[in-house]
Structure 1
C-alpha cells in the first residue's frame, strides 16, 4: 500500500479502527488529539496482534513484545514486519485493521515527531496496555482448546482493569495537565486516582457486557472466589439458561462498579464548565457505561452472546444531544448520572427480591 501520511493515520484510519471512540477523540481539544489518537492506533495494533486467534498464543506474544520494543524506540526489523504482514494482517476481515498493521512504520515515525514529553507518555501507555494483553495471553488458554480459566480473585481483576483501562484514565489526565494547564484542579494525585477509577469503571462494564463471548474463548474474568461464593463454576456460565441463577454474581459485580463511576463523576465535575469539549469527552463514556449496566441489570439472558446488552446508535445520539445542553452545569450532570446509578440500584433491589 502507498506510504500513509500523518493526516491519513490520524484521520480516516483512526476513524475506521476506533469506531465509537472516535466521537470522543474528535471532540477533544486540538493539542490532546494527536498524542491520544496515536496512542490509540498503536494500542489497537497491539490488540489486533493479541486477538488474532488463528495464530498460536506464543507466536502472538512474540509479535506483541516486538511491537512494544519498537514503540519504546527499537528500530523495527524487516523480518518481524514481514511476519506481521503475512501472519496477522492477512487474517484480518476488516480492511481498516489490515491497513493499520501495514502502517506501523509510518505510525512509529509519527511517534518520533511528537514532543519529548508526549512521546514518553505515549510510550508509557502503550507499554502498560500491552502488559494487559500479555496478561491475557499468559493467563488464559488457547481459544481453540475448549478450556476455560477464571481469574483467581478480585485483586487479579482489579489489576487487569488497571492494565487495560485504568491506565488510560491516568494517561488522559497526564495529557490534560500537559496540554491544558490550569484546567484540572490540584492536587494532581487526586485527579490521577479518579482518572484510574474512571477507566476501571468502563472496563468493568466491558467485562460484564462481553462475558458471553469471552467465556467461549476460554476467558472468565469473573474471580474464581466470587464464583465459588455463589456456587458457580466458569462452565456453569456457558449455559445461557443459567443467566437467572447467576444473576446475584452479576449484581455483585455491578455494585462493585458503581463507586468507580462515582469517581468518574467527581472527575467530570472537576473540569471547569467552560472546558466544554473536555467535559463532553468524559461525559459520554460515563453515561453510555451506566446505560449499559442498566441494560445488563434488566437482561434476563445476560450470559447469552446472542443477547448482548448494548445500547442502540439512536440512544447514543440522544445522549449526545442531551449532553450538549447539560454539560456546563455540575448540578444537572449530577442529577443525570446519579439518577442512572439510582435506577441501576433500584433495578438490582427489585430483581433481588424475587
Structure 2
C-alpha cells in the first residue's frame, strides 16, 4: 500500500488527516512546489499537495530501492494503491490512498496520466541511456509533463486541448531543468540523462564528465539543451493565463522558480558537475510579483 505507517497496529486515516499528511510530505520534499501551492484556495491547495505526494511516493519507490528488482516490486505496490483509490477502495491505513480517493471525489483527475508516470518511473529502473532527444523528451513527458495533466482539472482551465499541451510542455521544461542541474549528482549515482547523440555531436564523453571537466564542448552541449528548455518554458507560459483564478499565479510562481534555477546554472558557468544551482528563499519570494505581473499583462 502507498503511504501506510509501519507499525503493529494500522492507523486508520480520516480524509482530513490524510490530506494534511500529504501536505506535510510536499512541504518537506519540494520548497518550489509547496510555495506555488500556497496560492491555491484551500481545497485546491490540499488536492495539489496530494497529487504531488502521490507522485513523489512513486519516485521514492524507485530512487530509494536497493536494487532494480526491489524497485519494481515497490513500484507495483505504488500502482496498486492508485488502482484502489480510483476503485473507491483505498486502504484505510495508507494516507496517500485515502488522500487520493478524496481528490477523486472532487476532481476528474485522469488515470491515464498516472499510467504514463508509472512507465517513466519504471524506465529509471532499467538505467538505460537515452540515445536521442526524442527518447529524452518522452521520458520528461512521462515523469513530469503528465503532472500538468493531473493538476489542470484541479486548477480549472479554459482553452481545451491547447492548454493541456502547454501544461505538458511546462512539465517537460521543469524536468529538463532538473536534469541540467543534477548531472554531477546523477553521475554519482551511476545515472546519466544526457542524450548520447548530443554528447557525440559535441565531443563530450562520460569519462570527462565523471572527471568533473567543464569544457567548452560541454558548455555548448548544455547551452543547446538550455535553449530547448527555454523554448518549452515559452510554450508553457502561453497556457498559464488560461488557468482559473489564482491557480495561474500558483503555477506561474513555480515556473519562474524553475527558470531561476536554469539562470543560476548559467551564472555558475554551467558547472553542474561540482556545484548545485539553487535559489535562496529571498530570491524565490522576489519572483512572486513578477509572476503575477506576467499573468495579468498576458493577452
Q: Considering the TM-score relative to the shorter chain, is it more than 0.5? A: yes
Q: Residue 323 and residue 229 in structure 1: after superposition, are their counterparts in 2 closer, same or farther (change >3 A)?
A: closer
Tell me how far apart the structure 1 counterparts of residues 137 and 273 of structure 2 sit (CA, whole Å).
Answer: 24
Q: Which among 311, 317, 329 is matched to residue 285 of structure 2?
A: 317
Asked if structure 2 preserves the Cα contact closer than 8 Å seen for 1:129 and 1:163, the reply is: yes
Tell me how far apart the structure 2 counterparts of residues 116 and 8 of structure 1 sit (CA, whole Å).
Answer: 16
Residue 168 of structure 2: aligned partner = 196
Does the alignment pair 1:136 with 2:104? no
Q: Which among 16, 19, 24 is matched to residue 36 of structure 2?
A: 24
Structure 2, gaps ≥5 residues long = 6-10
Q: Which among 89, 99, 114 is matched to residue 110 of structure 1?
A: 99
Q: Residue 113 and residue 8 in structure 1: after superposition, are their counterparts in 2 closer, same or farther (change >3 A)?
A: closer
Q: What's the CA shift for 1:157?
A: 0.4
Q: Residue 245 and residue 230 in structure 1: after superposition, are their counterparts in 2 closer, same or farther (change >3 A)?
A: closer
Asked if structure 1 preserves the Cα contact closer than 8 Å seen for 2:256 and 2:291, the reply is: no
Q: Which among 263, 276, 285 is matched to residue 254 of structure 2?
A: 285
Structure 1, gaps ≥5 residues long = 76-80, 82-102, 141-148, 178-183, 335-354
Asked if structure 2 preserves the Cα contact closer than 8 Å seen for 1:237 and 1:303, the reply is: no
SS of residue in 2 equivalent to 1:41: helix
Between structure 1 and structure 2, the one with the greater Rg is 1
Q: TM-score, normalised by structure 2?
A: 0.84
Number of aligned residue pairs: give it.
283
Residue 47 of structure 1: aligned partner = 59
SS of residue in 1 equivalent to 2:109: helix
Q: Residue 50 and residue 25 in structure 1: after superposition, are their counterparts in 2 closer, same or farther (change >3 A)?
A: same
Q: TM-score, normalised by structure 1?
A: 0.72
For 1:1-354, list aligned pairs within 5 A: 2-11=11-20, 13-14=24-25, 15-53=27-65, 55-73=66-84, 105-115=94-104, 118=107, 121=109, 123-138=111-126, 140=127, 150-177=129-156, 184-186=157-159, 188-271=160-243, 275=245, 277-300=246-269, 302-305=271-274, 307-323=275-291, 326=293, 329-330=296-297
Q: Residue 43 and residue 121 in structure 1: after superposition, are their counterparts in 2 closer, same or farther (change >3 A)?
A: same
SS of residue in 2 equivalent to 1:220: coil
Deviations 1:294-344 (A, max 9, x none): 221232361324x111111221122225545x256225xx9xxxxxxxxxx
Q: What's the CA shift for 1:104?
A: 6.1
Q: Residue 60 and residue 271 in structure 1: after superposition, are their counterparts in 2 closer, same or farther (change >3 A)?
A: closer
Tell me how far apart the structure 1 counterparts of residues 94 and 151 of structure 2 sit (CA, whole Å).
Answer: 25
Tell me how far apart the structure 2 counterparts of residues 222 and 72 of structure 1 sit (CA, whole Å).
Answer: 33
SS of residue in 2 equivalent to 1:310: coil
Q: What's the CA shift for 1:256?
A: 0.9
Asked if structure 1 preserves the Cα contact closer than 8 Å seen for 2:58 and 2:75, the reply is: yes
Q: What's the CA shift for 1:223?
A: 0.5
Q: Residue 59 and residue 300 in structure 1: after superposition, are their counterparts in 2 closer, same or farther (change >3 A)?
A: same
Quick check: 12-21 or 195-204, which moved more? 12-21
Quick check: 108-117 or 149-158, which moved more? 108-117
Tell me how far apart the structure 2 counterparts of residues 301 and 201 of structure 1 sit (CA, whole Å).
Answer: 17
Q: What's the CA shift for 1:131?
A: 1.9
Asked if structure 2 preserves the Cα contact closer than 8 Å seen for 1:241 and 1:301, the reply is: no
Asked if structure 1 preserves the Cα contact closer than 8 Å seen for 2:110 and 2:149, the reply is: no
Deviations 1:136-186 (A, max 9, x none): 002x1xxxxxxxx53111011000000111111122223334xxxxxx333
Q: Residue 240 and residue 159 in structure 1: after superposition, are their counterparts in 2 closer, same or farther (change >3 A)?
A: same
Asked if structure 2 preserves the Cα contact closer than 8 Å seen for 1:36 and 1:122, the reply is: no
Using CA pairs under 8 Å that are at least 6 residues apart, name the structure with larger relative contact order, 1 or 2.
2
